[in-house]
Amino acid sequence: MLNLKTGDLYKLQTDAVVIPVAEDEQLHENERVIFLTGKTETAREFKGARGDELTLYNLPSLKSPRVIFLGLGKKNKIDAESLRAVCGKAVRKCIKNRLRSIMIAAPSSGILGMEIKDIIEPMLEGAFLGNHLFNKYKEEKKNKPLEKINFFVEPQIMINFSGLPSQVETVCKGTLLAREWVSTPSNFKKPEQFAKIIASIAKKENLIIKNFDYKYLKRLGFGSILAVAAGSRNKPRLLILKYDPKGAKKTIALVGKGITFDSGGINLKPSGSLEDMKMDMSGAAAVAATLISAAKMKPKVRIIGAIPLVENMPSGDAARPGDIITGYNGKTIEINNTDAEGRLILADAISYVLKEHIPDILIDVATLTGACVVALGEKIAGLFSPDDELAEKIIQSAKKTGERCWRMPLPEDYRELLKSEFADISNMSSSKWGGAITAALFLSEFIKDTRWAHIDIAGPAYTKKETDYCGVGGTGFGVRLLCDLIQKL
C-alpha cells in the first residue's frame, strides 16, 4: 500500500503526481518537481495558499496523466499536522476521482528545517488514514480506496527509511480498526458480540484473552458493571487482553469505556443527544486496537487492556436514580443519574486491574462527559492526571501524533461535590458545572496511589463532518497516541 519511490519522476507510472506547494517559498529540491511547480506560476487561481488546488493534465514528456498541486500556506506555518492533512486530502480527492494510484512528492528537509522522518512519517499517516472508507452497510460501493500510495523521495531517504512505511501501516491499521468499530451501529456490536469480534482478532496476534461473562461478573461482585447493564437484555462482558513479552519490567494498564449504546438509561437522553451514542465505546475501541497494534510492534513493556462492554438502556429492570450499589472494590455508590454510567463501569474495571495486575501505570480512555466537549470542543481531548511526568509524556505523544490533549485540573476541594447522603460516593456531582472534572475526580477515588491518567475523548472520538484524513464516523482517536506512548514509558 504505502511505498517510498525514487528515480526519474517523469518516467514513473502513476495516475497522479501530487506536489505540495507553499505560498511563499519553493519546498522541493528535486529538479523535476521544481520544474513542474513552475507550471503553476501562470495560474491565477493557484497561489499555494492553504486549501488551494490545481490540476494540470497531459504535461509534455510526463508519464503521469495529471499533476495535482496542493497549497500548504506559508512555509513557516507548515508542521506535521499540515503535512498529514495535505496527504489525506490528496488521497480523498483522488478516491473521489476514481484513481487507483498516486505519487506524492515529499518536501525537502533542509528547506522545511524539519528532520526528514518528521516530514515523511506524518505524510505516510495522513495518506494511509485518508484512504479509509466506511461503506460496509451500503449495497453500492461508489468509491474504492486507492491501491497504491507512493512517496517520491531522494535515493538516500528511500534507503534510510525503507522500514518506515510498514511501521506506519501497523499503527494506522489500529486506528482504522477502532474507526470501524466505532462507526458500526449498536445492533451489530452488542457486548457479547463485540467481545467476540475483538477476541478473534486479538487471538490472531497471540494476545492472552479473558472474556468474563455475566455469571462470572455476578459471582465476583462487579456491582457497578451489573447495575449499568441491568436495563438491557444484552448481557455485559469484561474483556481482558494481555500482551506479555519476555523480560518485561513494567506493566501498563489501559482501561477503555465500552458502552455499546448510551441511551442514558432511566435518565433517558433527549432526541438530538441519542443519535450518535453508538460511539460511546470509543475508549474500548482505542484500547483494544492499541493492544492489537502493540502485539505487532513488540514494545518491551507488559500491557493489560481492560475493556468493560455494557449497553445502557432503560427498562423495568434498569437501575433507578437513588439506587445504591456495591462496586468490585467494596465501595458503595449512590446512582443519582443513570446517564453518568461510564464512570461506573470504569470504576469496576479499574478496581479489578489494580487488584489482579498491579500495574505501574494505569491510563483510562473514555467518552466520559459532554462537559469536556463544552470545555475543549470537538477536536481536543481532556487529560487529567495528578502525575506531572506522565501528563507531560502524554502531551508530547499527543503533539507528535496530532491527537491533541489539553491538561485539566483535579482540584481537591471539588471532591465534596461527589458526596452522597447515604453511600460512600455519588456518581453525580451536586453542581451542574465542571462536569468533566468531577467525572475525573470520581475515577480518581478508585485509583489509590497508582500512577494514573484519564483521557476524556468525548469530543474527538467521532466526527460528523469529513475531515482531511477522516471520513464521517469514528476517528480512531487515541490509538496512535497510545502506541507512541507505550514505546516511551
What residue type is assigned to position 427 of the chain? N
Closest CA to 311 of 205, 186, 397, 423: 186
What's the closest the beta carbon of residue 342 comes to ligand BES, in angstroms?
A: 5
| Marked catalytic residue, from 66, 189, 235, 343 | 343
- Which of ligand BES, Zn ion, Mg ion, none sits in contact with 337, Cβ below 5 to 8 A by type? ligand BES
Rounded to whole angstroms, the Cα distance separating 133 from 153 reads 27
d(CA 67, CA 465): 27
- CA–CA gap between residue 63 and residue 388 (Å, rounded): 54
Pairwise CA distance, residues 190 & 235, whole Å: 8
Assess 390 for contact with Zn ion (CB under 5 A): no
Identify which range of 27-35, 211-219, 274-282, 396-404 contacts Zn ion by CB under 5 A.
274-282
Q: In this structure, are residues 371 and 434 in contact, taking their beta carbons and an 8 Å threshold? A: yes
Q: Is 259 one of the binding residues for Zn ion (CB under 5 A)? A: yes
Cell numbers that stand for 373 in this block: 466537549
Per CB under 6 A, the list member of 91, 371, 398, 455 interacting with ligand BES is: 371
Stretch that binds ligand BES, among 137-145, 186-194, 370-378, 415-423 (CB under 6 A): 370-378
Give the shortest CB-264-to-Mg ion separation in angstroms.
5
**Beta carbon nearer to ligand BES, 152 or 261:** 261
Q: Is 265 in the site for Zn ion (CB under 5 A)?
A: no
Q: Does 386 bind ligand BES (CB under 6 A)?
A: no
CB 454, min distance to ligand BES, A:
14
Contact between 311 and Zn ion by CB under 5 A: the answer reads no
- By beta-carbon proximity to Mg ion, the closer residue of 79 and 323 is 323
State yes or no: residue 280 binds Zn ion (CB under 5 A): yes
Residue from 71, 342, 402, 435 that binds Zn ion (CB under 5 A)?
Answer: 342
Give residue 165's Cα distance to chain centre. Answer: 19
235 given a catalytic annotation: no
Rounded Cα distance between 482 and 318, Å, is 35
How many CB atoms are closer than 10 A to CB 395?
Answer: 17
Among the listed residues 148, 269, 379, 407, the single catalytic one is 269
Which one, 61 or 271, has the nearer CB to Zn ion?
271
| Distance between CA atoms of residues 109 and 344, nearest Å | 49
Instruction: Point out the residue whose Cβ comes nearest to ligand BES.
Output: 370
Report how far apart, in Å, the C-alpha atoms of 18 and of each of 65, 79, 94, 151 are: 12, 18, 10, 9
Residue 264 CB, nearest approach to ligand BES (Å) = 6
CB contact at 8 A, 78 and 52: no
Contact 119, 106 (CB under 8 A): yes
Q: Which stretch binds Zn ion (CB under 5 A): 55-63, 153-161, 254-262, 327-335?
A: 254-262
Backbone region of residue 221 per phi and psi (left: phi > 0; alpha: psi in -120 to 50; beta: other values): left
Distance CA 297, CA 480 (A): 12
Closest contact distance (angstroms) between CB of 407 and ligand BES is 20
Nearer of residues 283 and 471 to ligand BES, judged by Cβ? 283
The correct pick among 458, 481, 486, 489 for binding ligand BES (CB under 6 A) is 458
Cell for 477? 482517536
Nearer to Zn ion, 150 or 312 (CB): 312
Task: Give the residue, chosen from 262, 348, 456, 484, that forms a contact with Zn ion under the rule CB under 5 A.
Answer: 262
Q: Is 269 a catalytic residue?
A: yes
Q: CB of residue 342 vs Zn ion: minimum separation in angstroms? A: 4
Nearer to ligand BES, 171 or 340 (CB): 340
Instruction: Name the minimum Å distance from CB 479 to Mg ion.
Output: 23
CA distance linking residue 4 with residue 188, whole number of Å: 38
Stretch of residues binding ligand BES (CB under 6 A), selected from 194-202, 227-235, 313-321, 339-347 = 339-347
Task: Take residue 7 and report the three cell numbers written for it.
Answer: 528515480
**CB closest to Zn ion, residue no:** 262
Give the length of the chain: 489
Q: Is 57 exposed, middle or buried (0-12, 13-18, 19+ CB in 10 A)?
A: exposed
284 binds ligand BES (CB under 6 A): no
Which residues are at the interface with Mg ion (CB under 5 A)? 262, 339, 341
The residue assigned the cell 494511509 is: 128
**Would you put residue 98 in left (φ > 0), alpha (ψ -120 to 50) or beta?**
left
340 binds ligand BES per the rule CB under 6 A:
yes
With contacts defined by CB under 6 A, how many residues of the chain interact with ligand BES?
Answer: 15
Nearest to 66, CA basis, from 106, 100, 41, 31: 100
Query: Which chain residues interact with ligand BES by CB under 6 A?
Result: 262, 280, 337, 339-342, 367, 369-371, 373, 428, 435, 458
Q: Which residues are catalytic?
A: 269, 343
